[in-house]
Structure formats: structure tokens, C-alpha cells
Amino acid sequence: MVCRMFRFETEVDKARRDLLRARLRDTNTAASPVLRALRGSPGERESPLHVWALDGAGGLAGGLVGHTWATWLHVTYLWVDERHRGAGLGSGLLARAERTARQDRGCRSSRVETWDFQAPGFYTKQGYEVVCVIPDYPPGITEYTLTKRLG
């Protein structure tokens, strides 16, 4: 029996993080024919997707920040200024992002995470379905993951 001694460290180390990411990517690519086929294709890299709504003075009225990867749109942030809520601006931002992802980037699906006090109802009205519920993340809050097929 081989006995090994290891030293564990908890500090942030960006070089090790990058090395770990590269090794995990290599391991995953070797294990998955889907990921192997994705390597070197246009869908391999994440591409930012931002949609901005500006008011008449050029101020930020709302926006959506996300990215596309492997035929998916991932909505990271969607926000509308309180003065403009209820006027369809959020729906417009999301629809523009979905259209861009589908038409320009070949995306077939979209995903988003939101908390119970944010917008799960908004996303279900836009055709998203809840696929995951995580209670107490963080404590006292429920997180939802929702997805949508982009016709």
C-alpha cells in the first residue's frame, strides 16, 4: 500500500486556477464525444451578448448581460430602472437577446437563474420553464433555474 502525504492550501492562486481549468477541460474533452466535437468549432468559446435600453437623455433605462456558448444563451443579468418597469422594457430586452442568440449565433435554448423575490414569474410569462429549485440559497431565499427552447 502506498501512503502519500499531501499539503492542502486555501489561498487564491490564479495560476493554479488556470492550470486546474485547463486540466479539467482536457479531462472532460477526453471523456465526452460531445465536448470533443465542440473543440475548435465556432460554438466553443463564450461570446458576450449585451442589450442596452437607453432613455431619451442617453441614460441607462435597462439592460441585459449574458453570453452564448454551445447553442445556449445564458442570461446573467436583466435589470430595468424602476421608473420604466411595467412598460414591457424587460420583455423587449429579453426578446432582443433571444432573437440575436437564435438568428446570429445559432442558439437553440436559453437559461437564467433568478431568486424568488426577483423574477421567476416574469420568466415563466416569457415561456421559460422551471427546471431546478434550490431552497435556502442563500439562507432564506430560493433560487430558480429556468430554461426555454428558442423556436
Confidence at 137, pLDDT banded by 50, 70, 90: very high
How large is the average pLDDT for residues 105-122?
A: 97
How large is the average pLDDT for residues 70-76?
A: 96
**Tens digits of per-residue pLDDT, 27-48?**
999 999 999 998 888 778 899 9
Contacts 24+ apart (CB under 8 A), 4-13: none
How large is the average pLDDT for residues 91-99?
A: 98
Count CB-CB contacts under 10 A for residue 26: 10
The CA distance from 101 to 104, in Å, is: 6
Instruction: Please give the radius of gyration of the chain, using alpha carbons only, rounded to the nearest integer.
Output: 20
What is the per-residue pLDDT for 2? 67
